[in-house]
Structure formats: structure tokens, C-alpha cells
Amino acid sequence: MDLASLTQVTRKRYNRIAPLYDLMETFVERARFQKWRARLWSRVRPGRILEVGVGTGKNMPYYPPGAQVTAIDLSEAMLARARSRARKLGLDVDLQWMDVQSLAFPDDAFDTAVATFVFCSVPDPIRGLQELARVVKPEGDIWLLEHVRVDRPIIGPLMDLLNPLVVRMVGANINRRTVENVRRAGLTLVSVENLSGDLVKLIHARPPQAQASRHPASPG
Ligand SMILES: C[S@@+](CC[C@H](N)C(=O)[O-])C[C@H]1O[C@@H](n2cnc3c(N)ncnc32)[C@H](O)[C@@H]1O
């Protein structure tokens, strides 16, 4: 299947899941995700922020006060829920229907980009990550909270085996190597924190230009 068709399949899956999404995650959200979201957002500096794959808007309560947030998603049904959450929280968020694989923003438009549990479902994650690097300022930050493939005997191959079924059911790949994808996309990896064994990672990256300006070539 080509990228456009895969992207349409992802969009339809999340449109289908949207009414049940918050319910499906109630337990894990309270037990784990809320703590991890708080940890990620405590590091985000105020300024122009892009949240990609906003989903139903579960990160909204953590947005830094005074930040100018633009949030996008591929699924209209998820966006509708995010819109209603923003209204309830009294937040002024610019919500747009958009694909992270081809963002309609100019270069260097944001200070920070954030994605939580998104790059497991983006059909071409490298392309999406490169788009983040393009729209974030060279000294800006890219924060990702992602579950990844566990590279251990038995569990890793088991994740590979179960992946097609899980993708069909909930839209997320459970065997993505997102840290490796960040590197492959050419981003500068600043730090990776393990939050739940080595299954869930908090990843801090920067656009590739930041590396060049921090380590200028020595003359001669
Ligand atoms: C697992 S949900 C996570 C939602 C939210 N970030 C959270 O933490 O609850 C993944 C979200 O990414 C969105 N998504 C998937 N592929 C996308 C793409 N190519 N561009 C933008 N959003 C995408 C889905 O529509 C869905 O809302």
C-alpha cells in the first residue's frame, strides 16, 4: 500500500476509535500516563508550541500557562473531542486537521513540538519526525513520549508477532523503534529516559541544525 492509502487507513481507524478512546485508556491514564504527561510538560518552555496527534486533548491540562499552542491531528473525530475539551478547560488552542508527514507550517515556526503516543501510528515516522525538525527553530525542543519495541529475546519477537493484530484493533504499532527513528530522521538526540522498564521512553531531541551551531567546525 502507498503512503497516502496507509495514511487514510490510519485516519479511518482513529475516527472509528475516537468515541471509545478515553474510555479504553481510563485505567492506564490514571495509573501511569498522567504522571508521565506531567513530567514531559514540566520541561516544556512557554512560547510557540506545536502538539502533533493531539487526540482527544489529554495533554491540554498540562499546557504551560501563557503558551501559544497549535495542535493538529489526522482524525476529525479525535479533533472534535479535543475541541470540546479545550472549550471545557477554557483554553484558546488553535486546533487544525493536518498530517504530521506534511505540515502546512513554515520553517522555524515553533519553539517546541510535543507528541505523546503518536509516532507509533504515523505511517512514515521518519518523514513525520523530519517535518517536526523543519518547523521547530534550530535551538528549539522536540519532546516525545512513546512506547517502543523492547529489544529483548522472546518479548521483542512476540511484539513483532502481535503487531499486525494490535494495529488493526487500536491503530498503534507496538514494535516501533522510535529512538532509532529519531536518529535516522537526522535529529539531535539530547536525552532518552526510561519510564516503564525500557517499554516507554521520554525522548528529548532537537533539529539537526542545533548540533551544527553548538559544535562549529574548528577553523583549518
Ligand atoms: C494513540 S493516539 C494519542 C493521542 C494523544 N496524543 C494522547 O496522548 O492521548 C494517536 C493520535 O495520533 C494521531 N495521528 C496518527 N497519525 C497521524 C498523522 N500522520 N498526523 C497527525 N496525527 C496523527 C491519531 O489520529 C491519534 O489521535
- DSSP labels for 106-146? -TT-EEEEEEES-TTT-SSHHHHHHHHHHHEEEEEEEEEEE
101 touches ligand 1 (CB under 6 Å): yes
| Nearest atom in ligand 1 to 145's CA | 8
Q: Are 44 and 141 in contact (CB under 8 A)?
A: yes
Which residue bears the cell 513483532?
Answer: 160
118 touches ligand 1 (CB under 6 Å): yes
What's residue 218's pLDDT?
41
172 touches ligand 1 (CB under 6 Å): yes
| Nearest atom in ligand 1 to 54's CA | 6
Q: How far apart are CA 61 and CA 179, in angstroms?
A: 27
| Nearest atom in ligand 1 to 51's CA | 6
116 touches ligand 1 (CB under 6 Å): yes
Give the pLDDT of the chain (220 residues) as one tens digit per residue.
899 999 999 999 999 999 999 999 999 999 999 999 999 999 999 999 999 999 999 999 999 998 999 999 999 999 999 999 999 999 999 999 999 999 999 999 999 999 999 999 999 999 999 999 999 999 999 999 999 999 899 999 999 999 999 998 888 999 999 999 999 999 999 999 999 989 999 999 999 965 444 444 443 3
174: three-class secondary structure by DSSP? coil
What's residue 209's pLDDT?
67
Q: How far is the CA of 220 from the centre of ligand 1 (A)?
A: 47
| Nearest atom in ligand 1 to 172's CA | 1
The CATH architecture of the domain made up of 3-209 is 3-Layer(aba) Sandwich (3.40)
Indicate the top mutation candidate among 14, 17, 23 to test ligand 1's pocket, ranked by most ligand atoms within 8 A of CB.
14
Q: How far apart are CA 71 and CA 187, in angstroms?
A: 21
146 touches ligand 1 (CB under 6 Å): no
Q: How far is the CA of 75 from the centre of ligand 1 (A)?
A: 8
Nearest CA to ligand 1 atom 13: 53
What's residue 39's pLDDT?
97
173 touches ligand 1 (CB under 6 Å): no
Q: How far is the CA of 172 from the centre of ligand 1 (A)?
A: 9
Show the CA angle centred on residue 140, arms to residues 171 and 114, nearest 5°: 20
Going from the C-alpha of 212 to that of each of 98, 186, 195, 203, the distances in angstroms are: 30, 12, 30, 20
